[in-house]
């Protein structure tokens, strides 16, 4: 039986999780402003363990979070966690390019612009193209990369799905608890978004406030899907795999022409307001299913 988190534990958890993460994000952003990209990326990777640190500091028990997978009859959720991100991201990109067909670039020029000239020369000498690299990256993103990313994502998932969401759902109900949890998750990213242009950049319509709202919406939507899968399996590795898969699909950003790369607020990656619509629809469906299941259980009792 899993112990319920107390209000005191939750408050300590929130202070620790945000305090640790925001300090790291501020330092990372300052380094990014000085051009130290590697340090920025390493610190953001470290930041992903702040929610887990918050759980440990608040002494919220890890027992019952599902570290030992027991997926008898539920193995399908491994594949759902692995490939649902691909489906909602691909559908979102299609929707985005239906709205903005002139922004599509099948040659991935934006991706080429991020690569050093010597790397491009070596690729060409080997008979490879940027498009080939994009295909390889996509294959990696739907096969093994999510499993590698999963170990970093676990640092967040222990805190979000493992500790925060159960507390909020107990207090506010399943759907509202998930929405509040997603907003908190999104807010957790705000310093690096404001200081370093994380996710959307700094020069987009409605910057910076529209980006803060958009990412909270994205986090709420993705949090609902992850938590639904977590509830169905009781295994913390499932939302961590989903999280890792989402993080692996950044290749979709480079389908957009280079001159529109500062317009990510709308798409084509799943974090966009337009490209996030398929994920939003799925989240709404899962909320309805959760409420129906809860009602059915209540009647059965």
pLDDT in tens, 37-52: 999 999 999 999 999 9
**Does the structure show a pLDDT above 90 at 124?**
no
Q: Which two tokens stand for residue 108?
A: 């991935």
Instruction: Provide DSSP, 134-156.
Output: HHHHHHHHTTTHHHHHHHHHHHH
The pLDDT value recorded for residue 194 is: 96
| Stated pTM of the model | 0.93
Residue 115: the pLDDT is: 79
Higher-pLDDT residue of 90 and 292 is 90
Task: Reply yes or no on whether the pLDDT at 75 is more than 90.
Answer: yes
Residue 33: alpha-carbon gap to chain centroid: 24
* Tokens standing for residue 77: 């959720």
Average pLDDT over residues 5-32: 97
pLDDT per position as a tens digit, 211-255: 999 999 999 999 999 999 999 999 999 999 999 999 999 989 999
Q: What's the pLDDT tens digit per position in 140-189?
A: 999 999 999 999 999 999 999 999 999 999 999 999 999 999 999 999 99
pLDDT: which is higher, 135 or 153: 153
Rounded-to-integer distance, Cα 164 and Cα 167, Å: 5
Nearest Cα to Cα of residue 248 among 93, 151, 154, 138:
138
136 Cβ contact partners less than 8 Å away, ≥ 6 residues apart: none
Whose CA is closest to 217, among 192, 186, 247? 186
**Average pLDDT score over residue span 253-263:** 87
The percent of residues above 70 in pLDDT, for the chain, comes to 98
Mean pLDDT along residues 89-101: 96
pLDDT at 15: 98
Q: Would you tell me how many other CB atoms lie within 10 Å of the CB of residue 101? A: 8
Q: What is the mean pLDDT of the chain?
A: 93
**Interval 126-152 mean pLDDT:** 90
Domain range list for the chain? 65-300
What is the reported pLDDT for 20?
98
CA dist 268 and 98 (Å) reads 11
């Amino acid at each position: 039986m899993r112990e319920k988190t107390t209000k005191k534990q939750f408050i300590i958890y929130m202070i620790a999780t945000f305090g640790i993460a925001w300090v790291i994000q501020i330092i990372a952003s300052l380094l990014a402003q000085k051009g130290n990209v590697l340090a920025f990326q390493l610190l953001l990777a470290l930041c992903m363990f702040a929610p887990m640190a918050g759980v440990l500091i608040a002494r919220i028990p890890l027992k019952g979070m599902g570290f030992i997978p027991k997926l008898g009859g539920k193995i399908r959720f491994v594949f759902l966690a692995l490939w649902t991100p691909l489906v909602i991201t691909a559908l979102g990109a299609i929707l985005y390019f239906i709205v903005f067909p002139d922004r599509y670039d099948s040659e991935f020029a934006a991706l080429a612009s991020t690569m050093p000239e010597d790397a491009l020369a070596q690729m060409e000498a080997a008979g490879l193209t940027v498009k080939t690299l994009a295909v390889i990256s996509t294959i990696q993103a739907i096969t093994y990369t999510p499993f590698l990313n999963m170990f970093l994502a676990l640092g967040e998932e222990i805190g979000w799905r493992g500790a925060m969401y159960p507390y909020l759902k107990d207090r506010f109900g399943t759907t509202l608890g998930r929405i509040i949890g997603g907003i908190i998750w999104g807010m957790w990213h705000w310093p690096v978004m404001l200081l370093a242009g994380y996710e959307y950049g700094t020069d987009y319509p409605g910057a910076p406030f529209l980006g803060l709202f958009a990412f909270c919406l994205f986090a709420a939507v993705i949090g609902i899907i992850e938590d639904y899968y977590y509830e169905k399996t009781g295994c913390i590795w499932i939302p961590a795999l989903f999280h890792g898969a989402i993080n692996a699909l950044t290749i979709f950003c480079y389908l957009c022409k280079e001159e529109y790369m500062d317009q990510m607020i709308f798409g084509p990656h799943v974090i966009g307001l337009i490209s996030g619509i398929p994920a939003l629809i799925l989240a709404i469906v899962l909320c309805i299913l959760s409420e129906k299941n809860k009602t059915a259980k209540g009647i059965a009792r």
